[in-house]
Amino acid sequence: MAEIIGVRFKTVGKVYYFAANGIQAQVGDAAIVETARGVECGEVALSNKEIPEEQITAPLKEVIRLATAEDLAVVAKNKKKEEDAFRICEEKIRFRKLDMKLVEVECTFDNSKLLFYFTAENRVDFRELVKDLASVFRTRIELRQIGVRDEAKLLGGLGICGREFCCKGYLGDFQPVSIKMAKEQGLSLNPTKISGTCGRLMCCLKHEQYAYEQLLKVTPKAGTMVQLPDGTQGVVEEVFLLTGKLRVRPEGAEVGTLVSKDEVQVLHATEGSREQRPPRKKPQPAQNSAPKEQKPQKEAKPRRDSRPPRQRSDRPHPPRQGRQDKQNKPPKAE
């Protein structure tokens, strides 16, 4: 078992684990820790807790100390530096005529690095901008391009529901959202109605998806044949998942009636569903069809092995012409 402390570096951000190193911290305290970006000051989100070592991603860095009054003064000074860096960077962007939008600036606790977050539709060549910023601040400069969802999380705002953005208020990480969730929840597929301020699908679709999945399992679908409490049969025309009501039109009636899903009995599966479709049969050849004319087969040629062996003649072969000329050739004159 290892004793850890959870620290986050933004108001609503991911919680990182650090070794307690014998320090007792409470939720809300400020702590100085060592990270991959350098020494930083964060807020304690999880007090001292023991967890199995298998759940720890090595190497686990340690908490240096709890923040003192001097450390908090350094943090306030860095905040002022971030505001100045934001203003200067915007001036440099306008001077270089770069197609990018600056979102936020972060300064590490030890003042070893300045991080500039920006958004852009295309790739931006900011090498000259980095040189300009490095000549002004005399420290390490890092520019990071982020997406529109990250921009909304950093800036914050109010959604169409009138509440604060979910990503800014309490969401630590973004959850994947698909258009299938909007279909299952019976929402309009108009992009302007199911998209958030960032232009992506609203995060609240993911929050309510589990409840809709459970309700869809126990609620008849539209088009299902059901039996009403009085014994008559009808077809489900409309489903209200959250209230558990069904609009059923009895046979021979022109207007449907509202009933509870617990008061009806499902007779068969939804029309056109997979359960109602007949099994696919494999095509079989017709039995009464006339047989096809068979082509006459060609006679097979005899194999080479089946041929009779050659008979050798007992007559002596005549000598070759070249050998005979050599024998009759006169000797060379000495």
**Residues 200, 203, 206, 211: what is their CA dihedral angle, to the nearest 10 degrees?**
-130
What is the CATH architecture assignment of 219-266?
Roll (2.30)
Helix 69-96 and helix 127-137: axis angle, to 10°?
A: 140
State residue 119's pLDDT score. 92
Please give the pLDDT value at position 310. Answer: 62
Phi-psi region at 255: left, alpha or beta (left = phi > 0; alpha = psi -120 to 50): beta
| Structure tokens given for 311 | 């008979």
Common-topology check for domains 74-146 and 219-266: no
- 74-146, CATH topology level: GMP Synthetase; Chain A, domain 3 (3.30.300)
Give the model's pLDDT for residue 130. 92
pLDDT at 317: 56
The DSSP symbol for 191 reads: H
Residue ranges, the chain, pLDDT below 70 = 268-334
- Domain boundaries defined on the chain: 2-67, 74-146, 153-215, 219-266
Structure tokens at 94: 């306008």
User: By CB neighbour count within 10 A (0-12 exposed, 13-18 middle, 19+ buried), where does 36 fall?
Assistant: exposed
Distance (Å, rounded) from C-alpha 66 to C-alpha 291?
A: 94
Alpha-carbon span 322 to 327, nearest angstrom = 9
Number of residues that make up the chain: 334
User: Tokens in use for 219?
Assistant: 């609620």
Quote the pLDDT of residue 288: 52
Q: Which two tokens mark 32?
A: 């100085």
Question: What pLDDT, on the 0 to 100 scale, is given for residue 277?
Answer: 46
